[in-house]
Chains A and B, each alone.
Chain A
Amino acid sequence: MTALTHYETPIRPSPFAPRLDALNRHADWTPWSGWRSARSFGDVEMEVSAIRNGATLYDLSPMVKYRIAGPGAVAMLDRLTVRNVAGLPVGRVHYTAWCDDRGHLLDDGTLFRLRADEFRLCCQERHLPWLLDSAQGFDVEIAEVTVEIAALALQGPCSASVLGAAGFDVSGLKPFGIAAAGDIMVSRTGFTGDLGYEVWTPAGQALALWDRLMAAGAPWGLRPIGSAALDVARIEAGFIVAGADFVPAEQALREDRAMSPLELGLGWMIDWDKGHFNGRRALLAERETGGRRALVGLEIEGNIGAEGAIVYLDKRREVGTVTSACWSPTTKKSLALAHLDWKHRESDRLWVEIYALRELRYVRLMERARVVPRPFLDLPRRRATPPGAF
Chain B
Amino acid sequence: MPSSDIVVIGGGANGLACAIRLARGGARVTLLEAEPEVGGGATTVEFAPGYRVSGLAHLVHGLDARLVAATDLAGQGFRATDPLPTTLPGADPLTVPAAGGGPGDWSTLMDRLGRHATRLAPLRSLPPPRLGAGNDWRALTGVGFGLARAGRADLRDLMRLILINVADVAEDELSDERLRALLAFDATLGAWAGPRSPGTLLLYLNRLALGGARAPMGGMGRLAAALRAAAEGAGVTIRTAARVTAIAVAGDRARGVTLATGETLRADHVVSALCARTTLEGLVGPAHLDTGTVRRIAAMPFHGGAAKLHIALTGAPGFGADLRHRFVLAPSVDAVERAFNPVKYGEVPDRPVAEVLVPTAHDPSLAPEGHHVLSVIAQFAPHAPKDPDAAKAAFTRAVLSVLEQAAPGLSGQIAHVETLMPADIAARYGLRGGSWHHGDLAAERMLFLRPFPEAARYRAPLPGLWLASAATHPGGGVTGTAGWNAAEALLKEAA
Contacts and interface: CB of A to CB of B under 8 A. Distances in A.
A130 B295 CA distance: 9
A136 B294 contact: yes
Contacts of A275: 252, 287
Given A276-B252, A281-B252, A100 B286 contact: no
Given A276-B252, A280-B252, A137 B286 contact: yes
Interface string B290-323: 1111110010000000000000000000000000
A130 B291 CA distance: 8
B293 A101 contact: yes
Interface in B469-487: none
A101 B291 contact: yes
A101 B454 contact: yes
A223 B422 CA distance: 68
Majority secondary structure of chain A interface residues (helix, strand, loop or mixed): loop
Contact of A100 (B252, B287, B292, B463): B292
A75 interface: yes
Contacts of B295: 133
A138 interface: yes
B285 interface: yes
Contacts of B454: 101
Nearest to B293: A101
User: B287, B289, B454: which has the most chain A beta carbons within 10 Å?
Assistant: B287
A75 to B, nearest CB: 7
B362 interface: no
A40 interface: no
Contacts of A385: none
A278 B295 CA distance: 13
A276 B253 CA distance: 10
A134 interface: yes
B24 interface: no
Contacts of B461: 281
Contact of B287 (A130, A138, A279, A281): A138
Interface residues of A, number: 18
A33 B383 CA distance: 43
B287 A137 contact: yes
Interface string B91-131: 00000000000000000000000000000000000000000
Interface in A274-288: 275-276, 278-281
A100 B291 contact: yes
A79 interface: yes
Interface string B19-56: 00000000000000000000000000000000000000
Given A101-B454, A280-B252, A133 B291 contact: yes
A21 B298 CA distance: 47
A127 B474 CA distance: 36
Given A101-B454, A133-B295, A278 B286 contact: no
B292 A276 contact: no
Interface string A76-106: 0001100000000000000000001110000
B288 interface: yes
Contacts of A75: 287
Contacts of A279: 290
Interface in B256-285: 281, 285
B287 A278 contact: no
Contacts of B291: 80, 100-101, 130, 133-134, 278
Nearest to A103: B290
A276 B286 CA distance: 10
B295 to A, nearest CB: 6
A70 to B, nearest CB: 14
Contacts of B252: 275-276, 280-281
A279 B252 CA distance: 12
User: B288, B290, B298, B461: which has the most chain A beta carbons within 10 Å?
Assistant: B290
Interface in A227-260: none
A99 to B, nearest CB: 9
A341 to B, nearest CB: 22
Interface string A105-137: 000000000000000000000000010011011
B292 A101 contact: yes
Contacts of A136: 286, 294, 298
Nearest to B281: A137
Interface string B431-468: 00000000000000000000000100000010100000
Contacts of B292: 100-102
A281 B291 CA distance: 13
A137 B285 contact: yes
A200 to B, nearest CB: 28
Interface in B155-184: none
A281 B285 CA distance: 16
A101 B286 CA distance: 13
A46 to B, nearest CB: 45
A39 to B, nearest CB: 35
A75 B287 CA distance: 8
A107 to B, nearest CB: 13
Nearest to B288: A276
B293 A276 contact: no
A100 B293 CA distance: 10
Nearest to A80: B291
A229 B430 CA distance: 62
Contacts of B285: 137
A79 B287 contact: yes
A346 to B, nearest CB: 30
A280 B288 CA distance: 10
Nearest to B290: A101
B440 to A, nearest CB: 22
B294 A276 contact: no
A138 B290 CA distance: 13
A137 B285 CA distance: 7
B280 to A, nearest CB: 11
Nearest to B295: A133
A133 B289 CA distance: 12
B470 to A, nearest CB: 24
Nearest to A75: B287
A133 B288 contact: no
A101 B293 CA distance: 8
Contacts of A102: 292
Contacts of B298: 133, 136
Contacts of B293: 101
Nearest to A99: B290
A184 B293 CA distance: 40
A289 B289 CA distance: 22
A275 B290 CA distance: 12
B282 to A, nearest CB: 10
Contacts of A137: 281, 285-287, 294
Interface string A126-156: 0000100110111000000000000000000
B457 to A, nearest CB: 16
Nearest to A277: B290
Contacts of A130: 291
B287 A133 contact: no
A130 B292 CA distance: 9
10 contacts: A79-B287, A100-B290, A101-B292, A101-B293, A101-B454, A133-B291, A133-B295, A136-B286, A275-B287, A278-B291
- The 3 closest A-B CB pairs, nearest first, are A137-B286, A101-B292, A101-B290
Given A79-B287, A281-B290, 13 more contacts: A79-B286, A101-B292, A101-B293, A101-B454, A133-B294, A133-B298, A134-B291, A136-B298, A138-B286, A138-B287, A276-B252, A276-B289, A281-B461
